[in-house]
Amino acid sequence: MTVRLVTDSTASLTAEAAAARAITVVPLQVVIGAASYDEGVEGGVTPAMLAEALRAWTPVSTSRPNPDEMLEVYEKLAAEGATEIVSIHLSADLSGTFESAQLAARRSPVPVHAVDSRQVGMAIGFAVNAAADVRDAGGSAAEMVAAARDRAASSTSLFYVDTLEYLRRGGRMGAAAALLGSALAVKPILRVEDGRVGPFERVRTSAKALSRLEELAVEAAGEAEVEVAVAHLESPARAATLAEKLGTRLAAGLGDREVSVGEIGAVLGAHVGPGMVAVCVARRSTHTST
């Protein structure tokens, strides 16, 4: 039995990391003006291109891979010897990517286990890596699915945005729409809950918001063994400072793992805008072998 692992570009895995763990990444698309770009590929859309377009009020939208594109991926993996596929994706409440995976799975020449992570960003990446740990230890596809779901469910994803305008433009407000009336007076901290973006807290300044992100991440970690990632869009200094503080405060739970820092992909960035800083804390489960 050969089980292959698939995810999408919103999982925030670098090309090098995905290749090293034999993870196939299916790109989503960002449409800027009249041009469409793949995310996470050479020559594709970059965070800087995205931020420039958003600031210029150039129309920006995002697009999922269609079922035929997903099927091509599954067929290719089957031709390479895969006997089963585990396909882990962005929350179905935020994108149709999981639906495309489900539809493609019905026509796949080998069984496909499509997983709705109910998460975004690196929380998906952590779930995918958990599945890869199980695969590399000789586990079954079902055990990989269980590990991915456990890791995603144990993850806390929080982010600060300078403005709710980009979430509003992209139609991803959800329960966070309740903050719009006072958006000019507050700096919102949002949280992913059950696959949806919702309001979590309101603070008065960006400095207080970043300090609060730090405290919330420490609370989410508790005394557990964890992985932590900080992401940003055109806020490298803020992100680096937060990562450094979390690395110190969570050293015991991190073990020899570092707090990763990276710029968020263009698909997610299109909905949160420049200035966003996010943190993901994932508790490591007993399914993993490393």
| HEC secondary structure over the chain | CCEEEEEEHHHCCCHHHHHHCCEEEECCEEEECCEEEEECCCCCECHHHHHHHHHCCCCEEEECCCHHHHHHHHHHHHHCCCCEEEEEECCCCCCCHHHHHHHHHHHCCCCEEEEECCCCCHHHHHHHHHHHHHHHCCCCHHHHHHHHHHHHHCEEEEEECCCCHHHHHHCCCHHHHHHHHHCCCCEEEEEEECCEEEEEEEECCHHHHHHHHHHHHHHHHCCCCEEEEEEECCCHHHHHHHHHHHHHHCHHHHCCCCCEEEECCHHHHHHHCCCCEEEEEEECCCCCCC
Q: Are 277 and 19 in contact (CB under 8 A)?
A: no
Side by side, which strands form the sheet with 29-32?
Answer: 35-38, 29-32, 60-63
Q: Is the pLDDT of residue 181 over 50?
A: no
Q: Which residues pair with 14 in a beta bridge?
A: none
| Nearest-angstrom CA–CA distance, 8 and 267 | 11
Q: For residue 170, what pLDDT is reported?
A: 57
Give me the helix-helix angle, 141-153 and 122-136, nearest 10°.
Answer: 150
Q: For residue 154, what pLDDT is reported?
A: 96
Please name the residues in contact with 177: beta carbons below 8 A apart, sequence gap of 6 or more: 168
Which range, of 23-27, 72-76, 113-117, 170-174, averages the lowest pLDDT?
A: 170-174
Please name the residues in contact with 227: beta carbons below 8 A apart, sequence gap of 6 or more: 126, 254, 257, 281, 282, 284
pLDDT in tens, 195-222: 998 888 888 888 999 999 999 999 999 9
Q: For residue 94, what pLDDT is reported?
A: 92
Domains detected in the chain: 3-28+64-153 (3.40.50.10170), 155-283 (3.30.1180.10)
| Nearest-angstrom CA–CA distance, 25 and 19 | 9
Burial tier of 183 (Cβ tally within 10 Å: 0-12, 13-18, 19+): middle
Can you read off the two tokens belonging to residue 175?
């329960």
Q: Are 83 and 110 in contact (CB under 8 A)?
A: yes
| Nearest-angstrom CA–CA distance, 124 and 248 | 24
Q: Are 3 and 83 in contact (CB under 8 A)?
A: yes
| Nearest-angstrom CA–CA distance, 101 and 90 | 11
Question: What would the mean pLDDT of 42-56 be, rounded to a whole number?
Answer: 88
pLDDT in tens, 259-281: 999 999 889 898 888 999 999 99
Which range, of 144-148, 189-193, 227-231, averages the lowest pLDDT?
A: 189-193
| Nearest-angstrom CA–CA distance, 130 and 290 | 9
